[in-house]
Amino acid sequence: MRRSGLAVVLAVTLFAPVAAKEQEAAKVWRLGFLSPYSADYDATWRAAFRNGLRDLGYVENKNIVIEERHFGGRHNAVPALVEELVRLKVDVFVVHPGLPSQIDAVRKASRPIPIVFVANPDPVGLGVVTSLARPGGQVTGVADQHGDLVGKRLELLKEVVPAISRIAVLYNSTDVSLRGLKDTQAAATVLGLTVVPVEIRTGPGPADIDRAFTTIRRERAEALNVLFGAAGVHPRHVADLAVKSRLLTIGTGRIFTESGYLMSYGANFPDLYRRAATYIDKILKGAKPGDLPVEQPTTFELVINLKTAKALGLTIPQSILVRADEVIQ
Strand partners, 65: 30
3-class state of residue 202 by DSSP? coil
Distance of CA 273 to the CA centre of its chain: 8
Q: Identify the pLDDT of residue 17.
A: 54
Which CATH architecture does the domain made up of 147-251 adopt? Answer: 3-Layer(aba) Sandwich (3.40)
Phi, psi angles (nearest 5°) of residue 52? -65, -40
Instruction: Let me know how long the chain is.
Output: 329
Candidates 292, 234, 271; CA nearest to 41 is 234
Q: Identify the pLDDT of residue 205.
A: 87
- DSSP letter string, 214-251: HHHHHTT-SEEEEPTTTTTT-HHHHHHHHHHTT-EEEE
Q: What angle do CA 193, 194, 197 make, to 5 degrees?
A: 130
Q: Give the residue extent of every domain in the chain.
A: 6-144+269-298, 147-251
Strands, E assignment, the chain: 29-35, 64-70, 92-95, 115-120, 139-143, 166-171, 194-199, 223-226, 248-251, 263-267, 300-305, 326-328
Please enumerate, as own/partner, the contacts of 100-105 that have beta carbons within 8 Å and a separation of 24 or more. 100/126, 100/127, 100/128, 100/175, 101/75, 101/174, 101/175, 102/34, 102/78, 103/128, 103/139, 105/78, 105/79
Cis peptide before 270 (omega within 30 of 0): no
Topology match between the domains 6-144+269-298 and 147-251: yes
Question: What is the Cα–Cα distance from 49 to 92, expressed in whole angstroms?
Answer: 14
100 HSE (CA, 13 A, CB side): 14
What CATH number was assigned to the domain covering residues 6-144+269-298? 3.40.50.2300
DSSP label at residue 193: P
3-state secondary structure 100-141: HHHHHHHHCCCCCCCEEEEEECCCCCCCCCCCCCCCCCCEEE
Tens-level pLDDT at each residue, the chain (329 residues): 455 554 444 444 555 555 444 545 579 999 999 999 889 999 999 999 999 999 999 999 999 999 999 998 788 899 999 999 999 999 999 999 998 999 999 999 988 999 999 999 999 999 999 999 999 999 999 999 888 899 999 999 999 999 999 999 999 888 788 888 999 999 999 999 999 999 998 778 899 999 999 999 999 999 999 987 788 789 999 999 999 999 999 999 999 999 999 999 999 999 999 999 999 999 999 999 999 999 999 889 999 999 999 999 999 999 999 999 999 99
Please report, as a single letter, which amino acid is at residue 65: V
Question: What percent helix, strand, coil does the chain show, rounded to 5?
Answer: 45, 20, 35
3-class state of residue 209 by DSSP? helix
